[in-house]
Amino acid sequence: MPTTTVDYPGYISAVVFLQGCPWQCVYCHNRHLQSILPSESLPWEDVLKLLELRAGFLEAVVFSGGEPLVQEMLPQAIADVKRIGLLVGLHTAGANPKMLARVIRSVNWIGFDVKHAFDDYHLITNVKDSGKLALESLSMVIESDVDFEVRITVHESIETDSLLDTLKVLSGMGVKTVALQKCRDKDEFVVEHPVFSDRLLLEEVSKYFDGFYIR
């Protein structure tokens, strides 16, 4: 359970990685978490005890994955974290809008992964209709009061024009903060997309948003 100030920007957070994800992104670095079946994971009760011990110097707990929205225990886990007085962050790609609807009012911040243009999601996730689910979830986040950031991992297969179109769509939907993330291969080496060396283009794109970051 790592402690960071990056996973929920500005807050000292513990990150809890939840098992299970229905997608198979080409660049996934958490493949061991894709199965919903427990592997070497700790039961939630044990994680909660650790969080209670560290609550004095933590400000937040971030649920990450995998895809936290596939875990039926998520609403209870969020309630437990709030009971010990910590803020709740959520990393999601929006794969389960029904669960998102159940928890969105209890969450303080969301880091929302956008994978590609919504019609082309399957090219990254390898799952048909994943873009529809992501669009439904992102729309729900935008319409809510919750603070959020969109993150896009820019895989080498994504054409620059397609990325630009996606960024324009996000801006039009009301997204205010976007981070473009460099993709890493299985050995953790950065596979740099040409968009990251196009300063003029990045400067132009940054005007679409209140906050625009490169990571």
Q: Kindly state the smallest distance separating residue 54's Cβ from ligand SF4, in Å.
A: 25
3-state secondary structure 127-139: CCCHHHHHHHHHH
**Residue 186 or residue 199: which is nearer to ligand SF4 going by CB?**
186
Please answer whether residues 165 and 159 qualify as being in contact, where contact means their C-beta atoms are separated by less than 8 angstroms.
no
14: its two tokens = 């513990």
The one among 18, 25, 99, 141 contacting ligand SF4 by CB under 6 A: 25
Q: Kindly state the smallest distance separating residue 70's Cβ from ligand SF4, in Å.
A: 9
- Letters for 132-151 (x = contact with ligand SF4 by CB under 6 A, - = none) are --------------------
The separation between the first and the last C-alpha atoms of the chain, rounded to the nearest angstrom, is: 22
Q: Kindly state the smallest distance separating residue 24's Cβ from ligand SF4, in Å.
A: 5
DSSP 76-144: HHHHHHHHTT-EEEEEE--S-HHHHHHHGGG-SEEEEEE-S-GGGTHHHH--TTHHHHHHHHHHHHHHS
- Nearest-angstrom CA–CA distance, 70 and 157: 27
179: its two tokens = 């981070």
Stretch that binds ligand SF4, among 16-24, 135-143, 144-152, 177-185 (CB under 6 A): 16-24
Is position 14 an interface residue for ligand SF4 (rule: CB under 6 A)? Answer: no
- Letters for 162-181 (x = contact with ligand SF4 by CB under 6 A, - = none) are --------------------
Stretch that binds ligand SF4, among 27-35, 40-48, 171-179, 207-215 (CB under 6 A): 27-35
- Letters for 64-103 (x = contact with ligand SF4 by CB under 6 A, - = none) are -xxx-------------------------x----------
Strands 177-184 and 147-154: parallel
* Contacting residues for 40 by C-beta, under 8 A, at least 6 apart: none
Q: Where does this chain bind ligand SF4 (CB under 6 A)?
A: 21, 23-25, 28, 30, 34, 65-67, 93
